[in-house]
Chains A and B, each alone.
Chain A
Amino acid sequence: MSKRLTSFGPINSIARTEETHPLTWRLRDDGEPVWLDEYQQKNGYAAARKALTDMAQADIVQQVKDSGLKGRGGAGFPTGVKWGLMPADESLNIRYLLCNADEMEPNTWKDRMLMEQLPHLLVEGMLISARALKAYRGYIFLRGEYVDAARNLNRAIDEAKAAGLLGKNILGSGFDFELFVHTGAGRYICGEETALINSLEGRRANPRSKPPFPAAVGVWGKPTCVNNVETLCNVPAIVGNGIDWYKSLAREGSEDHGTKLMGFSGKVKNPGIWELPFGVTARELFEDYAGGMRDGFTLKAWQPGGAGTGFLLPEHLEAQMYAGGIGKVGTRMGTGLALAIDDSVNMVSLLRNMEEFFARESCGWCTPCRDGLPWSVKILRALELKQGTTEDIQTLLGLVNFLGPGKTFCAHAPGAVEPLGSAIKYFREEFEAGVVRAPVEPRPTVVETPI
């Protein structure tokens, strides 16, 4: 059993180059953090220098827009478009840049690697982004359990301040930016961007109604942009190397550009994360990088990117890893860190575990989520114990519908039912195996489920 966890699978030992691995080429072989001196020796803050001294603010926004960079937190919203929503009105001069580092999505551990090992990459990404968005202050909203990341980020911020890379008149450009690490106190819902804003303001992390979007009314009512850690870490290379280079990275057939931290875990031979170009096939990720299943286990299903994405079958491994490629086979790419479900896992038990998580982490604000998720847990527990009734599967499918996209206040419940719906679709017999009796009182009438 290992204590200090510095490695993330083999990411520190595979071949990486500046041209092909913009996020990870600076990683050290020993997995230790890259501090300021080493980061600058490896061309660090060169992009920030370029952005602050040679580029107009609007040009940075345009470059990020033209690069096609999309959010890496799971939803995949185009970053340049989000940036473009910030008000043009110059009199709104108090603006905030928030980094969403509240990484709690089950099976997601890419931001932790970036923050622990390359804290200056995030600081540089935020500096350039803040300049583009005219933000005078930034906060990294970090989950409380990531104690190593908090320590490393705070040290990196101190180093950057001492070197004049944060603070007043950065690099002689006249631009001021200060950056703080804000650590959370638990609750998965803090990762929802408007809940994150409420939490940062010192309130309960209930999501806010959109519109108004954070770009118009964000933290303390001011224009605010919230970006994921990995998204912000892409910015320095885009600014430094240009969009032609960035657009040459992805594989043929991919509509998304650049590279992505992708992973495979579960009972695979070689669990880990790797920086790979968009468009690699899931099979390549699974077989060539993760080494396929461990001896004695076979692949039964897989999930492309976190608990909120649907299950896929082994035949879907031919899909290319990018939003549209995974969309074609029926779900979302999410965070791109895939999970292998082996043949020893019962889908009802797995879903029970997942829905327990989603039910516990519901903020309780809207009724479908607050009441629907514990209901699904109750049914799944009954099916797991072979005490289910003939109506249970229909009730679960009803919940998949009632908690689906557009019917709840935020994306928490839709994310919770997406894997449930796909598990029933592909493995219905495992759910049926838990049905042993008719309900005690059969329903008098069948209620049509409204769409």
Chain B
Amino acid sequence: MSNAALIQTDRFQLSETERSSIEHEMHHYEDPRAASIEALKIVQKERGWVPDGAIYAIADVLGIPASDVEGVATFYSQIFRVPVGRHIIRVCDSMTCFIGGHESILESVKSQLGIVPGQTTADGRFTLLPVCCLGNCDKAPAMMIDDDTFGDVRADGVAGLLEAYS
């Protein structure tokens, strides 16, 4: 990812859908602040990541300081403050998957895509991340690609799984 992608000069505006979804979420809680994580997820769903401008825009809608929104955005592992790939690969690294051989899965993904956990492929197709136990312990090792969970993954089967995500 080049640094140019991180420079955000355009004025940021929430789309109507984003704004109305965030306002809808606010009504589920006693305090609008509670919608901050969901608001970040709403923006991320639309744009793939959370640009700087979105932090201020969300803070504005919720009526809380932008620093608080940024504090939340940088705390949670599934909120992305830099652009990520079109597809997110999450390889479960729990001890059960460790025993099941998850390191060979990780090696296979790394060597095929040329990235390490935390990085995105140059073509912007995949981002690789670690994840807490996915709760598929009878089928270790497990991994997720976007919202799909796979169990009993073998190192030589990784290429076949990745193919389906263009």
A residues whose Cβ falls under 8 Å from a Cβ of B: 1-3, 5, 8-9, 94, 103-109, 111-112, 144-147, 180, 182-188, 199-205, 219-220, 222, 263, 265-267, 271-273, 307, 337, 339, 341-342, 345, 349-350, 353-354, 356-357, 360-361, 363
Q: How far is the CB of A206 from chain B (nearest CB, A)?
A: 9
Would you call B132 and A188 a contact (CB within 8 A)? yes
Given A1-B153, A185-B41, A265-B96, are A337 and B77 also a contact pair (CB < 8 Å)? no
Would you call B95 and A184 a contact (CB within 8 A)? no
Of B5-13, B108-116, B120-128, B142-150, the segment with at least 4 beta carbons within 8 Å of chain A is B142-150
B residues whose Cβ falls under 8 Å from a Cβ of A: 28-31, 33-38, 40-41, 62, 64, 68, 71-72, 75-79, 90, 93-96, 98-99, 130-140, 144, 147-154, 157, 160-161
Contact for B98 among A9, A144, A204, A350, CB less than 8 A: A350
What A residues does B77 contact at CB under 8 A?
Answer: 185-187
Q: How far is the CB of B71 from chain A (nearest CB, A)?
A: 6
Most-contacted residue by chain B among A145, A183, A307 (CB, 10 A): A145
The 3 closest A-B pairs by CB, nearest first: A186-B77, A109-B135, A106-B94
What B residues does A356 contact at CB under 8 A?
Answer: 93
Q: How far is the CA of A220 from the CA of B33 in the complex (A)?
A: 11
What B residues does A202 contact at CB under 8 A?
Answer: 29, 31, 33-37, 62, 64, 72
What A residues does B36 contact at CB under 8 A?
Answer: 202
What A residues does B161 contact at CB under 8 A?
Answer: 1
Contact for B33 among A186, A203, A357, CB less than 8 A: A203
Besides A185-B37, A220-B30, A271-B139, 7 new A-B residue pairs in contact (Cβ under 8 A), listed by A number: A1-B153, A2-B139, A144-B78, A186-B132, A266-B99, A354-B95, A357-B94
Would you call A186 and B94 a contact (CB within 8 A)? no
Given A109-B137, A202-B33, are A5 and B151 also a contact pair (CB < 8 Å)? yes
Given A5-B149, A145-B131, A357-B132, are A187 and B76 also a contact pair (CB < 8 Å)? yes
Q: How far is the CB of B48 from chain A (nearest CB, A)?
A: 15
The 25 sampled A-B contact pairs (Cβ below 8 Å) are A1-B151, A1-B154, A5-B149, A103-B135, A104-B133, A107-B133, A107-B137, A145-B132, A147-B147, A180-B28, A183-B38, A184-B76, A184-B78, A185-B37, A186-B77, A188-B132, A202-B64, A203-B33, A203-B68, A271-B137, A339-B99, A339-B137, A354-B95, A357-B94, A363-B75
Contact for B99 among A2, A3, A187, A350, CB less than 8 A: A350
Q: How far is the CA of A390 from the CA of B141 in the complex (A)?
A: 35
Name the residue on A nearest B129 (C-beta).
A186
Q: How far is the CA of A184 from the CA of B40 in the complex (A)?
A: 11
What A residues does B136 contact at CB under 8 A?
Answer: 5, 109
Q: How far is the CB of A420 from chain B (nearest CB, A)?
A: 12
Q: How far is the CB of B82 from chain A (nearest CB, A)?
A: 16
Would you call B140 and A265 a contact (CB within 8 A)? yes
What A residues does B90 contact at CB under 8 A?
Answer: 145
Q: How far is the CB of B42 from chain A (nearest CB, A)?
A: 12
Q: How far is the CB of B101 from chain A (nearest CB, A)?
A: 10
Most-contacted residue by chain A among B41, B64, B76 (CB, 10 A): B76
What B residues does A219 contact at CB under 8 A?
Answer: 30
Q: How far is the CB of B155 from chain A (nearest CB, A)?
A: 11
Would you call A267 and B137 a contact (CB within 8 A)? no
What B residues does A337 contact at CB under 8 A?
Answer: 137
Q: How far is the CA of A77 from the CA of B35 in the complex (A)?
A: 30
Name the residue on A nearest B69 (C-beta).
A202
Would you call B99 and A342 a contact (CB within 8 A)? yes
Would you call A104 and B132 a contact (CB within 8 A)? yes
Would you call B135 and A146 a contact (CB within 8 A)? yes
Name the residue on A nearest B152 (C-beta).
A1
What A residues does B150 contact at CB under 8 A?
Answer: 1-3
Would you call A184 and B99 a contact (CB within 8 A)? no
Would you call B96 and A266 a contact (CB within 8 A)? yes
Would you call B132 and A200 a contact (CB within 8 A)? no
Name the residue on B nearest A2 (C-beta).
B151
Name the residue on A nearest B138 (C-beta).
A271
Q: How far is the CA of A53 from the CA of B62 in the complex (A)?
A: 40
What B residues does A266 contact at CB under 8 A?
Answer: 96, 99
Name the residue on B nearest A111 (C-beta).
B135
Would you call B37 and A106 a contact (CB within 8 A)? no
Q: How far is the CA of A349 from the CA of B33 in the complex (A)?
A: 42
Given A144-B78, A199-B37, A220-B30, are A341 and B99 also a contact pair (CB < 8 Å)? yes
Name the residue on B nearest A353 (C-beta).
B98
Q: How far is the CB of A28 from chain B (nearest CB, A)?
A: 18
Would you call A106 and B34 a contact (CB within 8 A)? no
Name the residue on B nearest A7 (C-beta).
B138
Contact for B132 among A8, A106, A273, A363, CB less than 8 A: A106
What B residues does A104 contact at CB under 8 A?
Answer: 132-133
Q: How far is the CA of A276 from the CA of B157 in the complex (A)?
A: 36
Contact for A345 among B34, B99, B139, CB less than 8 A: B99
Q: How far is the CA of A147 from the CA of B45 in the complex (A)?
A: 14
Q: How far is the CA of A107 from the CA of B139 in the complex (A)?
A: 11
Would you call A307 and B139 a contact (CB within 8 A)? no
Contact for A203 among B38, B41, B72, CB less than 8 A: B72
Q: How far is the CB of A101 from chain B (nearest CB, A)?
A: 11
Name the residue on A nearest B154 (C-beta).
A1
Would you call B99 and A357 a contact (CB within 8 A)? no
Name the residue on A nearest B40 (C-beta).
A185
Would you call B94 and A187 a contact (CB within 8 A)? no
Would you call A185 and B79 a contact (CB within 8 A)? yes
What A residues does B134 contact at CB under 8 A?
Answer: 145
Q: How far is the CA of A314 from the CA of B36 in the complex (A)?
A: 48
